[in-house]
């Protein structure tokens, strides 16, 4: 019996950088993936840290809202 061949490495994929929209390699050789550079990665991290990215949440009901019965 012959030995099974080792699995081939995954194909390199080229994706759009989420920060600048430029091309980026989505590959283990790219330490900033999915970003194209350290600059884009740091820019995105700064946006998260400054809370520039937000998800809108529905407004909480007022305490005096009579349409919902009180919970006991």
Domain extent listing, the chain:
13-49
Q: What is the mean pLDDT of residues 33-53?
A: 91
Q: Is the peptide bond before 34 cis (omega within 30 degrees of 0)?
A: yes
Q: Which CATH architecture has domain 13-49?
A: 2-Layer Sandwich (3.30)
Mean pLDDT of the residues in the chain: 83
CA of residue 56 relative to chain centroid, distance: 17
Residue 24: strand pairing partners: 15
User: Percent of the chain beyond pLDDT 90?
Assistant: 40
Q: Is the dihedral of CA 23, 29, 32, 37 positive or negative?
A: negative
Buried b (16+ CB within 10 A) or exposed e, 8-37: eeeeeeeeebebeeeebeeeeeeebbbbbb
């Amino acid at each position: 019996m012959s030995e099974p061949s080792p699995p081939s490495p995954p194909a390199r994929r080229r994706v759009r950088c989420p920060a600048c929209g430029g091309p980026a390699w989505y590959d283990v050789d790219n330490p900033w993936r999915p970003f194209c550079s350290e600059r884009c990665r740091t820019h995105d991290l700064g946006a998260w840290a400054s809370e520039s990215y937000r998800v809108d949440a529905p407004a909480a009901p007022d305490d005096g809202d009579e349409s919902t019965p009180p919970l006991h």
